[in-house]
Amino acid sequence: MKDLHSPFAGSYAEARVKFLRAATDAGLSIRSHEHPERGREGETLAIDVALQGPKDAAAMLVISSGCHGIEGFCGSAVQVALIRDQSWLDQASANGLAVLYIHALNPHGFSWLRRVTHENVDLNRNFVDFSRELPRNLGYDDIAHLAVPPDWPLSEAVIAEAQRYIADRGFAAFIAALSGGQYHHPQGQMYGGQQPCWSNLVLRQVLREHARDVEQLGWIDIHTGLGPCGHGERIFFNQNDATALARTRSWWGPAVTSYYDGSSDSAPLSGNLWCGIRDECPQAEYTGIALEFGTLHYEKVMLALTADHWLHLQTATYPSVASRIRQEMIEAFFVDTAEWKEAVLTQTFCAAAQAVVALRR
């Protein structure tokens, strides 16, 4: 693939410049939703939205990045690569189709090298109905003190307790407890919040503006950090509905996995972003996947996230410790090799092309 490295960026600020420049050069209409806080380099943070095609399109494909902040290093690059690719633009523009690129759903986490928002919220657990009693993740209650430990590196006691939990209840139970989402430990991991967070509210506004009259809505939400290195798992991103699953597999192939039937590497989750899509676009036939690219072994990703949450609570720490933890966060969610970048770009171009073919049917 030509131009393999140039869509990728070394910081949120650089990624944003590349995205805005690519969208401007391609003549897309751009709208930026500014975040109330500043980034790590003092830069403006924003969810930037670029529309390709007509405003009143009956069929729309959304390609979104940075739901989990730091995972935007991958998602931003594939958006930039797509927008720079004239043959993709031509292919996607035929038949009056629209493509909406949503850049950096969680710009604060992207800039600050965190997975969560500035509210310590996991955006992909935040789309629940807050007027009702929130789901209780009893498994997380048991391991909350392991997920955000008192010391870093981990003490032998914490390691032994985690190993004991896994030996007693199994690794899958540990992962479900840790990553399924929880609403009762505001400083913990995979915290879904107590109210819609900033990114949630902005995404809903974007959908109201662009997708209220769409009849067919396709979605690819780019993630990293789960599964074999460089493999893009296509995870069913919708409610537990056999018809929707069959339609999703007809778009993206039989390899589409689902956490409802255990075929996905992902644990069952609550409050996913697709709940917001369904809320805001009830008129649309919605078909979506999370495209999740593997990076490091899961244990290393978990350790990086645990260290990050520990670091976030420290009022003072050695700069060398902080910078090592941030570096380990980057490595947990982005693989800086030509092979990985090529794998990511190739698989995203393929998934995007499949969506366009399906939307034209």
Identify which of 340, 252, 344 has the alpha carbon closest to the alpha carbon of residue 292. Answer: 344
Name which of 88 and 127 has its Cβ closer to Zn ion.
127
In the complex, least distance from residue 267 CB atom to Zn ion, rounded to whole angstroms? 13
In the complex, least distance from residue 68 CB atom to Zn ion, rounded to whole angstroms? 4
Name which of 84 and 309 has its Cβ closer to Zn ion.
309
In the complex, least distance from residue 333 CB atom to Zn ion, rounded to whole angstroms? 8
In the complex, least distance from residue 222 CB atom to Zn ion, rounded to whole angstroms? 8
Instruction: Return all residues near 73 (Cβ < 8 A) that are at least 6 apart.
Output: 8, 9, 15, 110, 224, 330, 333, 334
Kindly identify the residues of this chain, within the stretch 185-224, that bind Zn ion according to CB under 5 A: 223
Name which of 71 and 233 has its Cβ closer to Zn ion.
71
Kindly identify the residues of this chain, within the stretch 341-360, that bind Zn ion according to CB under 5 A: none
Q: Decide if residue 16 touches Zn ion (CB under 5 A).
A: no
Kindly identify the residues of this chain, within the stretch 265-304, that bind Zn ion according to CB under 5 A: none
Kindly identify the residues of this chain, within the stretch 219-238, that bind Zn ion according to CB under 5 A: 223
Name which of 214 and 235 has its Cβ closer to Zn ion.
235
In the complex, least distance from residue 301 CB atom to Zn ion, rounded to whole angstroms? 10
In the complex, least distance from residue 295 CB atom to Zn ion, rounded to whole angstroms? 11
Range in contact with Zn ion (rule: CB under 5 A) among 22-30, 62-70, 265-273, 302-310 = 62-70
Are the C-beta atoms of 151 and 311 separated by less than 8 Å? no
Instruction: Indicate if the alpha-carbon torsion angle 168, 173, 175, 179 is positive or negative.
Output: negative
Name which of 209 and 331 has its Cβ closer to Zn ion.
331
Range in contact with Zn ion (rule: CB under 5 A) among 69-77, 80-88, 200-208, 239-247 = 69-77
In the complex, least distance from residue 40 CB atom to Zn ion, rounded to whole angstroms? 20
Name which of 28 and 291 has its Cβ closer to Zn ion.
291
Q: Decide if residue 68 touches Zn ion (CB under 5 A).
A: yes
Name which of 222 and 359 has its Cβ closer to Zn ion.
222
Q: Closest-CB residue for Zn ion? A: 223
Q: Binding mask 19-58 vs Zn ion (x if CB under 5 A, - otherwise)?
A: ----------------------------------------
In the complex, least distance from residue 67 CB atom to Zn ion, rounded to whole angstroms? 6
Q: Decide if residue 114 touches Zn ion (CB under 5 A).
A: no
Name which of 144 and 273 has its Cβ closer to Zn ion.
273
In the complex, least distance from residue 179 CB atom to Zn ion, rounded to whole angstroms? 10
CA 238 vs CA 11, 57, 176, 324: distances in Å: 31, 22, 19, 37
Query: What is the total count of residues that contact Zn ion (CB under 5 A)?
Result: 3
Name which of 57 and 67 has its Cβ closer to Zn ion.
67
Cα gap 257→244, rounded to integer Å: 13
Q: Decide if residue 125 touches Zn ion (CB under 5 A).
A: no
Q: Which residues in this chain contact Zn ion in the complex, by CB under 5 A?
A: 68, 71, 223
